[in-house]
Structure 1
Amino acid sequence: MIALHCDGSLTADRASYGGLIRDATGAAILAYVGKGEENSVLGMELMAILRGIMLCIQNDLRRVSIRSDSKLAVDILNGEVGCPWAMQVLKGRIISLCEQLHSKEIRHVWREMNQAADFIAAIDTGDGESIFNPSEFPLELVELIQNDADCKAYFRTSSF
């Protein structure tokens, strides 16, 4: 299976989505980032998943482990919670695309395990969408991917 790490981002002046597709060894295949139209974090999280699945299908990658740090998006797509009306069309498009995959899983991952996708979603490429090959990755992204491939341990700190 390949891993599709997805993330959405919403700031005061920008909505965006991004993701990273990696092979079974953890090596990067490609990254994508785009400016979103939705004015909600959930919308951007779902858009990141939608675009990632579309890119997997376009690249004939049909065994996909979809990973998001949005528990709500994962639970909606896995049918564990209801979907807000405003997101029904987006959810339907994702579910329809998933039928084209040979196998899939949709998993929640902690934000520490999704740092590369978070980094990508924050890249400002202006309007539209950009796709990057590994040779075009910024050094900081390469380091995040390598840390993950090396199974770097992350420790959560308490905010008490």
Structure 2
Amino acid sequence: MTPLHCDGSLTANRASYGGIIRDDTGAAIMAFVGKGEDNSVLGMELFPILREVTLCIENGLHRVSFRSDSKLAEDILNGSVNYPWNMQVLKDRIISLLGQLQHKEIRHVWRELNQSADFVAAIDTGDEESIFYLPDLVELIKDDSYRKTNFRTPSH
């Protein structure tokens, strides 16, 4: 099962979200970060789950474990608590997409186990969402440490 960590970030100046998608061994394969449009803590905790579900479907990952440090977000999506009416549309979108997965679980993890997602969510990418494919980045960093010369291919 693919572990997915996500988090929202809300400061006085900015709302943002982010997450890390890992492979079955726990190695990070993708990260995403973007500017949020909801100025509520709960909205910014639920929105990265929506993005992760979407990215998983787009990338053929259908057996996933969502991990969030928001116990309330987990409880809302698992149907164990009532939630504010203004979260209904977001919750319904997530639940609808979750139905396209073969196996899924939504788990609460302590904040200390969600530090990578917290770090990513705080990156300021301006107004655009950014997606990083980490195996490529990890390989480039390793090549740099070995002083390997990489030649950029011309873009068309």
Structure 2: which 5+ residue stretches go unaligned? Answer: 142-156
Q: Which runs of at least 4 in structure 1 moved beyond 3 Å after TM superposition?
A: none
Q: Which amino acid aligns with 2:36?
A: G
* TM-score between both structures, scaled by the size of structure 2: 0.86
Structure 2 SS opposite 1:30: strand
Aligned ranges 1:1-160 → 2 under 5 Å: 1-134=1-134, 135-136=136-137
Structure 1: which 5+ residue stretches go unaligned? Answer: 140-160
Q: CA RMSD in A?
A: 1.1
The alignment covers a number of residue pairs equal to 138
Provide the rounded CA distance (Å) in 2 between the counterparts of 1:90 and 1:34: 17
Q: Which amino acid aligns with 1:45?
A: E
Provide the rounded CA distance (Å) in 1 between the counterparts of 2:32 and 2:115: 14
Provide the rounded CA distance (Å) in 2 between the counterparts of 1:69 and 1:50: 15
Larger gyration radius, structure 1 or structure 2: 2
Q: Which amino acid aligns with 2:108?
A: H
Provide the rounded CA distance (Å) in 2 between the counterparts of 1:136 and 1:126: 21
Find the counterpart in structure 1 of residue 145 from structure 2: none
Provide the rounded CA distance (Å) in 2 between the counterparts of 1:93 and 1:102: 17
1:3 deviates by 0.7
